[in-house]
Amino acid sequence: MTDRSERLPDLGPRPGPAGSGRDDDLPQHVGDVIVRTEGLEKYFGDHRVLAGIDLEVRQREAVMIIGRSGSGKTTLLRCINFLEEPSIGAVEVDGVRVDADPLKARSRRHQEQIRQIRIRAGMLFQDFNLFPHMSVLANCIEAPTRVLGVSRDEAVTRAERYLEVVGLSEKRDEYPARLSGGQKQRVAIARALSMEPKVLLFDEPTSALDPELIGEVLNVMEGLAHAGTTMIVVTHEMHFAEEAADRVVFMEGGVIVEQGPPEQLLREPQHEATMRFLRRFIHR
């Protein structure tokens, strides 16, 4: 683990200067707010999946969201970059603020704002979703060249840098079909990093992996967290959360029940629901 983090790019100094007006109990290294959700609600038909989520994630902060399936954690993540259109509330990513407005969801202006959020928030999926018809390198330079307008040379340089971060430089010309699940997810991380986003959103990134392949992906993620990458991770990996998180958020029934530093939330939860949920993991 330690040898990997030495290869990581400098994504910002770790003990950052404290921003003005911060709460005193925030960790020293975090900066300004990058992601903010305000009163976020999501209905599927009559069913309320998110019941008013107010979440702030600061620069260089690694936030892990835990909770049983159906608690709304994945929906929250997908609402942040509008893969699900929230029903009520607002999302702000790196200063781009979009109000939920299902009635105007198809309007050009709204779509363009959403795209601005997506450019700033990289997303990792449970089943990787690499483009199977493109090589690893092509996967990584596609969006930077065509969305950001980065030159091909610059995009290739970037892609190679981030492929090295995930330890897959030698696979740059392979096609996804020839990679293991763990390698696919690491390429997906390199692809997301190649956009140089302000925050990475991980949606259960190891849930589709064979147990022996989970470690290599978590190692990369932990390295990124320690290097100061802002990230929001929906996960079931409690050990990983304990190691890599600055803050753990416990969700149930579409609301944030409790949040705090991992040692506090995972060791001494304050709420009954959190205790009940964590009890299942104690004897693992």
Partner 1 sequence: MATQSDALGRSQFLERVRKAQARSRLSFRIWFALTWIVLVGGLVFALWITGNIDLSFINEWGPYVLGGAGLTILLCVTSIVFATILAIFGAIARLSGNPIINGVASLYVSLVRGTPLIVQIVFIYLALPQLDIRIPAIPAGIMALSFNYGAYMTEIFRAGIQAVPSGQREAAQALGMPEHLVMRRVVLPQAVRIVIPAIGNDFVAMIKDSALVSVIAVQELLWRAQNVGRQNFRTLEALLIAALVYWILTIVFSFFQERLEHRMARGDR
Q: Residues interacting with partner 1, by CB under 8 A?
A: 81, 83, 106, 111, 115-116, 118-119, 121-123, 125, 127, 129-133, 142-143, 146-148, 175-177, 191-192, 195
- 199 beta partners: 121
Q: Give dist(CA 121, CA 98) in Å, integer.
A: 14
Q: Closer to partner 1 by CB, 188 or 248: give it.
A: 188
Q: Closer to partner 1 by CB, 68 or 115: give it.
A: 115
Smallest separation, CB 163 to partner 1 (Å): 16
Smallest separation, CB 106 to partner 1 (Å): 7
Q: Closer to partner 1 by CB, 176 or 254: give it.
A: 176
Q: Closer to partner 1 by CB, 88 or 134: give it.
A: 134
Smallest separation, CB 61 to partner 1 (Å): 21
Q: Closer to partner 1 by CB, 5 or 129: give it.
A: 129
Q: If we measure between CA atoms, which residue out of 23, 28, 73 comes closest to residue 50?
A: 73
Do 26 and 199 contact (CB within 8 A), yes or no? Answer: no
Q: Give dist(CA 3, CA 14) in Å, integer.
A: 17
Query: CA angle 56-266-126, nearest 5°?
Result: 65
The helices-and-strands tally (H runs, E runs) of the chain is: 10, 10
- Counted residue by residue, the chain has a size of 284
Positive or negative torsion for Cα 132, 152, 198, 147: negative
- Residue 249 backbone dihedrals phi, psi, to 5 degrees: -115, 125
